[in-house]
Every structure is written in structure tokens, then in C-alpha cells.
Amino acid sequence: MIVRRRRTPVGFATLAALAVAVAILCSVPLLFVTWVAFDSGWAEVATLVFRPKVGELLVNTVLLLAITLPLAISLAVSFAWLVERTDLPGRGLWSWLMVAPLAVPAFVHSYAWSAFAPGFHGLWAAVAVSILAYLPFLYLPVAASLRRLDPALEETAAALGKPPMVVFFRIVLPQLRIAIWGGALLVALHLLAEYGLFVLTRFDTFATAIVDQFQSVYNGPAANLLGGVLVVACLVLLRAESALRGDERYARIGSGSIRRAERQSLGPLRWGAMGLVLIFTLFSLGVPLWTLSRWLWLGGAAIWRLDAVLPALGQTAALALGAALLTTIAAFPIAWLSVRAPSRSQRLLEAAHYYVGALPGVIVALALVTITVRLAPSLYQTMATLVIAYMLMFLPRAVVGLRSSIAQAPPELERAASSLGKRPMVAIARTTLRLAMPGATASTAMVALGIANELTATLMLAPNGTRTLAMRFWAYTAELDFSSAAPYALLMIVLSLPLVVLLRFESRKIGQI
């Protein structure tokens, strides 16, 4: 049932204040880009931004988003429907394999395909590898939402004579809207900010141009003004996602119908459906694992330098888990506001949380470097600054995961707890936060996955002596020493696997709340 919000939610003032504080912190990179533009002057801005190269990058970015997002949405909804709502053989196995590509970093996907098909470059290569690497971001929330839907609505429509396709498009698909657009936004933000994947597929984007600008001539104004274009692109995406998502919530008061929807028979299409999911699995997992196995075989025992491998593993795990927990905590206020109190001001706050996720790590890092050097030298090249960078970059992952889970917790429970004398934050903690815990855990796992594989910001901000798995991997691949890079790629996958298992396990809980 669709319910529109009219009353001021419990705990609104406190959580709004916390969301504003996080938004102010998130504004640092934007203020930095603005300051660079102001300091450069209009003439230089016009020269650097309004030129053919920027137009080419803009066209590439639009094409990448316009092709990748519809394909990814179609595939994610199709796979989720096959696994959750049909008699597809081996559904339990396929549900794991749909999530498993998250354990493989995007740039490892790209390296694997570069070795497997050396001529696979350009736009379509970038689209294909992006879908293989990022599809789980759409599949997970859609599958969780499908498990949560009340089958009575679909059964009623079917009883009124509506054919299955009509039931799906008129009853099921509208209820998946939050999950679809939230996941699509995450994928889009990754496409805007991704660097390693597009370098290896030889497809120019704003992110690759920005990093190349720094690496070649260290031209700060040019790179940062390109970052400003990315900020504008991100705001456009946020506005589109907000409009498509709407402000409705889909929550059930009481136990309702807790039974699972009846699975539909695929009939003669069963084996074709199996072939489709098998092809995706072979492309998303088979190719990376085959390539990695080849690197390890060629390198032999000599490439396992434990004095370098083990410290990199420990530092990566500690940074990923610690920073992910802080990021999820910081994301809760705006995720709660986006569900409980949607408004123009809330959407501005939400945009402040989201836009920084579209910036390449190098822009976020440079902003923090400049701020710490000029205003807080004691924080320059410290773990605190690195953790703040991670939080800024991966807030969108946490917000999307929390938002979908909070949307399924009825606000009436918060009001009931408050009416019984509980303080606002206690009422929220004992009702919504408790029900949203699977989403919070899944968000933490999703953020940790991103941090474990982050590269560019880590290179610029990490204190002396810090060597993460991604940093080691990139150093060897930059020298074309793929065999020596293989152990670090393998350990990134091994480190990510428990997080993927946790993410999948908790996402299934979301559908059972």
C-alpha cells in the first residue's frame, strides 16, 4: 500500500542536524573545485573547459551511461526474477554467482579481459566490462525487494484476469522502483569515477583525463576544472534519480502475508534461461579466474614474497573494515531523512552526500591534501585523512543500502515507541534501526569492498609505509609484471569473498523483515 508522509517524523531535528554536519564535510571537494575555478579566472576556465577534448569526453560519458544503465537494469531485473520467482534449476547456486563478481575489483576484470581478448577495446569493451563488474549493485537490491513483495497484490491482479506480463509491469515493477533507481545511481556514479577499468579498455572518460593530466604535467587547474564538470554530471544524475524514484514508500503494517510468492514455471524456456545466467557467470567470473590462474602458474613460488604480501593484506583489511563502519554510521541520518521526510531541502542534502562519489579519488585526495597542508598540517598524510577520503568517496554505497532497508520499516513503529515515552533517538534505534540492521550490515560490507580495492586516493594520501593490496597490484602491472601482480589480485579476491558472502546473506534478510 502506498502511504504519503505528512507528519513530522520522530527524531527529525537531531538526524537533520547530523546530516547537515556530514554534508558540510562532503562539501570540501566541491569548495576546492570552486576555489580553483575562481582562482584561475574566467578566461582560463573558458579555455580549459570549452574545448573540443571536453566535448569528446562528455559524449563518451553520455554514451557510456546511456548504453550501460538500460542494459544493466534489464539484466539485473531479469536475473533477479529468474532466481527469486521461477523454477530455474540451481537457484541457490545462481543467487551466489550473481553476487560473486563483486569480489573481483573492476580493474582486475579489465586486466583479465585485456589478457583474454587483447583487441577488446573501446566503447563496447568499456560497456561490457562495466556490466560484468557492477551488475551486482543492481541485482542485490532488486532481488531483496522481490523477496519482500506481498504476493497477494499479484494474485489479486491475476484473479481479475490480468496476464502475467501485465501483472509484472503494473504491479511488480513499480514496487521495485526504489531498488532499481538506487542501484542504477550507484552504477552510474562508479562509471563517472572509475579509472583503472577504462584505462585498460582504452576508453577516454573524465576520470582518465583527470588522472592523466596530473601524471603528465601535474596541471592542477585543468584537472580540477574537469572535476567540476563531473560534479555537474553527478548533480544531473541525482536529480533524474530523485524524480524517477518519487517520494512513495512501500511498507506493510503488521505481519501481512509472509509467505513466498508461488514460483512460475519456465517450461521449455528453462534451459535457455540457464544458458543466459551461465554465460554471464563465465564472463564475469570464469575469465578473471582463468587469467589469474595463468599469471600464478607462470610466476611460480617466486612471486609469493611474504614479507610484502602479508603486511599489505593486514593493512588493507584494517582500513576497509574500520572505514566502512564509520561510513555507514555517517550515512544513516541522510538515508533516514530521504525515506521519512522527503523534501527539496532533504534532496539538496542528499545531493551533497552523493556528488562526491562521482569524483575520481585523485580529486578528493587533492582537496584533502590542500586543506590539511594549509589549515591542519598535523593531519597531512595521516590515517585520519585517508579514512575521511574513504568515507566521502563511498557514502553513496552506504546511503543506497540503508535507504532501501529503512523504507521497509513502518514509521508508525517509531511514533508508537515515542508515545510510550522513549526519547526520539532511542525510539528510532529500537524500531527502525533494529529492522534496518540487515541493510546496515550489507551497506558496511559494500563499502568495505570498495575501500579494499581503492587505488588513486590511497596512493596520494596514505602515510609513509602504507602499502595496500591495490597499491602493490597497480605498481607491478604498471611495470607490465603481471605475474608478480597476481598474488595481490588473488588476495584482494580472497579478502573480498567474506564481505560478498556477508553482503548476500544480509541482503536476503532484508527481504524477510
Pick from 110-124, 407-421, 477-491: least confident: 407-421
Q: What are the residue ranges of helices labelled H in 86-135?
A: 91-99, 106-116, 123-134
- pLDDT at position 5: 47
pLDDT: which is higher, 429 or 146: 146
Across 73-87, average pLDDT: 89
Answer whether residue 256 shows pLDDT above 50: no
Phi, psi (deg, nearest 5) at residue 250: -125, 90
* Tens digits of residue pLDDT in 358-415: 677 777 887 888 788 878 888 888 899 999 999 998 988 888 778 877 877 777 776 7
Read off the pTM.
0.77
Binned at pLDDT 50, 70 and 90, residue 71 comes out as very high
* Tens digits of residue pLDDT in 48-65: 777 888 888 889 989 999
Q: Say if strands 2-3 and 249-250 run parallel, antiparallel, or are unpaired.
A: antiparallel
Binned at pLDDT 50, 70 and 90, residue 3 comes out as very low
For residue 348, the 8-state DSSP code is H
- pLDDT at position 279: 93
* Tens digits of residue pLDDT in 127-152: 999 999 999 989 988 888 887 776 66
Answer whether residue 264 shows pLDDT above 80: no
* Tens digits of residue pLDDT in 175-214: 788 888 888 888 988 888 888 889 888 898 888 887 777 6
- pLDDT at position 132: 94
- pLDDT at position 163: 66
- pLDDT at position 246: 62
Among 358, 334, 332, which Cα is nearest to 347's? 334
Q: What is the three-class DSSP state of 513?
A: coil
pLDDT: which is higher, 264 or 325: 325
- pLDDT at position 509: 54
For residue 259, the 8-state DSSP code is S
426 membership: H or E segment, kind and range: helix 424-428
CATH of domain 7-245+271-510: 1.10.3720.10
Can you count the helices (H) and strands (E) in the chain? 27, 2
pLDDT > 70 in the chain, percent: 86
**Residue owning grid cell 575555478:** 37
